[in-house]
Chains A and B, each alone.
Chain A
């Protein structure tokens, strides 16, 4: 029979459709190509040829276009193929959302310049289909099981990035959430993300088609779209319409390619941009030296040496995100037995299984284990510690450091690569002097390598052998696993073989660790490196790291831990041993038999979400049934102690230290009270308009001036409407309107404007005030300028511009937009600008305006002085008590807990006082004169951060917490300087960068705990025994 073949070769799947000349579908087939796209396409074409006489062939897809000439097919862009198929089948359709393995498209049919307006994802937000695949694999769900899930619950995960989402889902499951609820959260997040990035504010009109593999095979996602779009249409006053997801929605591109061939359409333009190059030098093994290095790295498992009879043992458990490890050591630290298994998401069952295995091994060796202590570390430690009766629960960084030092006492740097995190610790004796943890954009590397191998049909245990055999390797980008996955598609398209791609992937780990995770050159950390963590069992990746380090660090020594995957558990056991030896305490370990009787119930749902602040921690309730009517219950997942008790209404516990940085989120926006009232302008009998202001960006600098001005002008307090502080809900609601994406705080502007517009229904307002703050008033001197970042300055304009895509949204509601410039550094100029913006709109006379501005300036100045005075009192108290005070080096808007994820609150909850730059005592003028270090800088925030870093170095009681948002180019410019400045002081520092809408709870806790442990050691070492000089006496 005569047929027309259409082929679609995407990033993960190859599809073929044969149609008759009438358009009728005669044959359809889909296969996963596992990185062998060319062979898959050839097989599909051959099978179609066996059954049909093929007149013509069309081809599409991200890999398909490059195979067009080889297969004699007419190339067509997948979007054109898609719309062609839709026109054939659904003439009435107005919008299409198509999700593929690596890309996402939204098509507004018939509304663009050339007919259709098409939006495709850029780099971030890529990989929806691949992400779903990977997460399903990670949590052990088959595609059949995935298809049976139904939308439920109200949990939240972030899906800006597939890597973030994966971490969130694993954490939710480990906290007791059901698979349905966790995957529902993922589906909803994917929908919000696509609405934010792809529609950019344009409304998806019905009838709407959901196409592509994820929609065809995962009904849950379709349900999430229906839920979101019906709500959106209702909100915008649009009549609801059908949302269809055809079961063969993944075949539409192939179908369109066939139709294109049928009508003998024009071939798509071919473009080929530069891709990463293959260089002979990039091959992993190239000479004899390499082979010696490889031989030296090959790990040698120590022989199991369980003696018979009664043996005193110290147990260590490392409950990681992907696996659980358990070891038994003797009091000399000798490994006696170990057990390793995957994490199933049920930590207690996993722990019982590992411990059971250990005791089984003992039984077989005729040993009788006498447990002297138990140490538990890893992500699951918070839950498992109390369940198992652990004597100690060290943070992972400390456990790995202890494990590495036990094997190599001279170790200077420990590189731990696990399934999710990469941690690099610089050791100073037994102490962790400095540590670096992968942020979200470099996370998931261990799991990614294994997952990529599986995607290409290679078992992880064969990864190294095949990668080491490759004679060339493509250069991948580093950092984000989703980007690397995109690269993999590109290289597959460009003809790289699987082994070569594996070799290229091996290099990425080395470059990710040393160019992304650790912001300093490796030679600055030391010369003796120890590789540990489960991912280091991949010898190709470990070898690439060793080779990289040898090329960078003269005279370096790189060794593999003898049992890299057990290093954390070994460290936990060693620390537990040291603990019980030092305290002479009996172990609290419950014993295997008692563990067997424990019943654990974990409830995780939206009803337990903490509402005491805008962070909205997703908590779970753990109930432990110990039999004999002994039952205990507690909450977990709360970022601070406020959420520890369900019924408590306390805003803080007794141990909570002052958090002056976090307090800015409310203090700066406090209406001048009657006592502070400085109003000179007579309150006239008039009808005052209502002004709405988004609580974002530059308002964290301008709010005191603006509020003081409005109050002095006589405006009633209730006529000023602020958007709330940022929360996950506010962001996700706003995201549906579309986002600008230069940086995370800029994205929030849209969400806050959206929040105000939604508030407008209940609280009508007359104007939206979005000042363009061009310069800040700073206390530093010696820099070229004190300008605001242009993104901060223009964020109001950008938000209004984006809003304009929906028509005159403000005008339709009778809202005026006030977006005047505001130069906070020049009061006279600010006075004129405020008049042009607010004064004229309020109907003030020039004199009234001038008086109001003068009083507002005085109010703002007094507020700033009060904050610094409070800071000085906090610091003086810490000096007296020999305690450290954290100074948050951040932009003013990081005081918004939704921007900084409440890090300052977490520190304060652990008893650590926190200052911000605005509450840091001014100290010596010399410290604030930056002419010698930052003369060319024009940015106010950069200057403030550098000053604060210098102040931290100069005062022994101050330690630094450096915060930075995702894609902050301004912060990037001074990052090196900050690290050099802070690194010169022998004191702990916490770096939390790439803050985004996703809140990596577990990773943040790891950093905070490691930092707090380091601060405790620092306090004991440097503060308790000495008097501290006043800041203004410190030398520059």
Chain B
């Protein structure tokens, strides 16, 4: 039934942007004419805003706008729409009914919508396709991780953008050509080899938290935040998109808070995957690109960290993960600053970023809640510059402190470190004394530098 429907439809895959939509569409191309929905750009946002009642969240407006743009240009072929949004586990916006209503009012042709809920989607397409869909999603995560790791290191960010975009397009084309996603990814693993790196320096580290959409739809959705920070020399850590899937699976494994209504759609009995599976497969996808030391957040641990502030049993959407990630940044000393990226109208994020996250971070990590929208850019930039400056000062102090503890000067230490290689982890994995990657590297290389080793369990206090 599904195959037959897909074969006579044009299936649009959308809601996550590039490269996710392209990679997922490539996997589904085996069922028929499948295309990415297109950029969730400002034009899509404007179209969505002009067509829907105001006050809705940015993910819904942008996706609806992009869908409308395609629907208006549709031919007689029925349109199917496969979307990963709702935005992660967000259960507040009425995504499906809104898309249905919108296409009914504005669409050029009949509409056929694919189930939106990801775990169910994976079940729907059968094991092989589901497995490939998951790998395609993880390939997108790996590609973005690589791009973000490199951004603060490369000499020419525009060359990075060109090489990265070409690689992602090539991977999608290879999948359409019949290759499995990770095989396709492996074929293009050397995409960054020609990029020149900058010399080592103490760089600020920031962790971005927020709803999956605002973190992963690269570009307009988050005002290019990860790029802007990377270009300013900040190492940026963004949790993988697959974390949303892992959290969703974990949430399902928890006892329900209450009996659902008789009319409620039934949850599938057994999820095909567990959160741990997602983590393992994420590591495999990253390894394909040469990133062997990645640490996928432990969902159980995140929930446990968040519990005193926002119990997961409340089903507050990704807000729980946001709080957990903030706690992780603090307790694992992962960052000099945490930025909560709020897409306009996001209920779960708004509920936690003003009171709860600052409380979780305490005075250990600087915090900035940044609502991203089209307006007030100058003010937003000003706040960001301030945060970067404070984080950079802290990174420099950490590098100096590491050298002092090891009894070497910074130039001596830098000279003694091994040659910098692209896509190496930005910092030593495990209990950290410093958030600063350079300080961590210096600390980890104490023996090589013939300096005094530092006890990694003793946290620094600057």
Chain A: residues with CB nearer than 8 A to chain B?
Answer: 11, 62-63, 65, 77-80, 102-103, 112-115, 118, 120-123, 126, 200, 268-277, 475-477, 479-480, 483-484, 486-487, 489-490, 493, 511, 514-516, 519-521, 552, 739-743, 746, 772, 774-775, 781-787, 789-791, 793-794, 797-799, 801-802, 804-805, 821, 823, 825-826, 829, 929, 931, 934-939, 964, 967-977, 979, 993
Interface flag for B405 (CB, 8 Å) = no
A-B residue pairs in contact (CB < 8 Å), sample of 18: A62-B379, A120-B386, A123-B373, A271-B231, A273-B381, A274-B220, A275-B377, A486-B376, A774-B313, A785-B260, A791-B350, A794-B314, A799-B355, A801-B358, A934-B97, A936-B96, A972-B55, A976-B98
Question: Within the complex, what minimum Cβ distance (angstroms) separates A11 from chain B?
Answer: 8
**Residue pair B94, A936 in contact (C-beta under 8 Å):** yes
**Residue pair B258, A274 in contact (C-beta under 8 Å):** no
Given A103-B379, A781-B263, A969-B345: A123 touches B55 (CB 8 Å cut-off): no
How many B residues, CB 8 Å from partner? 89
Q: Complex: how many Å from CA A974 to CA B260?
A: 21
Of the listed residues A114, A122, A786, A939, the one surrounded by the most CB atoms of chain B closer than 10 A to its CB is: A114
Question: Within the complex, what minimum Cβ distance (angstroms) separates A936 from chain B?
Answer: 6
Chain B residues near A476 (CB-CB < 8 A): 375
Chain B residues near A823 (CB-CB < 8 A): 257-258
**Residue pair A976, B381 in contact (C-beta under 8 Å):** no
**Residue pair A273, B225 in contact (C-beta under 8 Å):** yes
Interface flag for B419 (CB, 8 Å) = no
**Residue pair B354, A742 in contact (C-beta under 8 Å):** yes
Q: Complex: how many Å from CA A784 to CA B42?
A: 32
**Residue pair A972, B220 in contact (C-beta under 8 Å):** no
Q: Complex: how many Å from CA A511 to CA B314?
A: 38
B315's contact among A479, A787, A968, by CB below 8 Å, is which? A787
**Residue pair A784, B265 in contact (C-beta under 8 Å):** yes
Interface flag for B422 (CB, 8 Å) = no
**Residue pair A789, B347 in contact (C-beta under 8 Å):** yes
**Residue pair A489, B378 in contact (C-beta under 8 Å):** yes
Interface flag for B212 (CB, 8 Å) = no
Chain A residues near B260 (CB-CB < 8 A): 784-785
**Residue pair A791, B351 in contact (C-beta under 8 Å):** yes
Q: Complex: how many Å from CA A974 to CA B101?
A: 12
Q: Complex: how many Å from CA A929 to CA B92?
A: 20
Given A118-B386, A826-B258: A794 touches B351 (CB 8 Å cut-off): yes
**Residue pair B223, A113 in contact (C-beta under 8 Å):** no
Given A80-B389, A271-B385: A122 touches B369 (CB 8 Å cut-off): yes
Q: Complex: how many Å from CA A753 to CA B4?
A: 60
**Residue pair A77, B101 in contact (C-beta under 8 Å):** no
Given A781-B263, A793-B314: A972 touches B389 (CB 8 Å cut-off): no
Q: Complex: how many Å from CA A477 to CA B371?
A: 14
Given A268-B389, A486-B379, A797-B310: A969 touches B384 (CB 8 Å cut-off): no
Chain A residues near B315 (CB-CB < 8 A): 774, 787, 790
**Residue pair B54, A972 in contact (C-beta under 8 Å):** yes
A801's contact among B346, B359, B380, B388, by CB below 8 Å, is which? B359
Name B249-300 residues within 8 Å CB distance of A. 257-265
Interface flag for B53 (CB, 8 Å) = yes
Quick one: closest A residue to B392, CB to CB?
A: A269
Quick one: closest B residue to A979, CB to CB?
A: B53
Q: Complex: how many Å from CA A209 to CA B393?
A: 25
Interface flag for B173 (CB, 8 Å) = no
**Residue pair B232, A475 in contact (C-beta under 8 Å):** no
Known: A794-B356, A802-B359; 16 extra A-B contacts, CB below 8 A, are A62-B382, A77-B389, A273-B224, A273-B377, A274-B219, A275-B377, A477-B375, A486-B375, A490-B376, A490-B377, A741-B354, A785-B260, A785-B261, A785-B264, A794-B351, A936-B95
Given A271-B385, A273-B377, A740-B354: A970 touches B258 (CB 8 Å cut-off): no
Chain A residues near B385 (CB-CB < 8 A): 65, 77, 268-271
A-binding segment of B6-14, B44-52, B193-201: B44-52
Question: Within the complex, what minimum Cβ distance (angstroms) separates A548 from chain B?
Answer: 9
Q: Complex: how many Å from CA A86 to CA B419?
A: 44
**Residue pair B228, A271 in contact (C-beta under 8 Å):** yes
In the A-B complex, the 10 residue pairs with the closest CB atoms: A972-B55, A477-B375, A798-B355, A801-B359, A742-B350, A790-B316, A740-B354, A114-B390, A782-B263, A975-B53
Quick one: closest A residue to B96, CB to CB?
A: A936
Name B201-238 residues within 8 Å CB distance of A. 219-220, 223-225, 228-229, 231-233
Interface flag for B93 (CB, 8 Å) = yes
**Residue pair B96, A120 in contact (C-beta under 8 Å):** no
**Residue pair A122, B379 in contact (C-beta under 8 Å):** yes
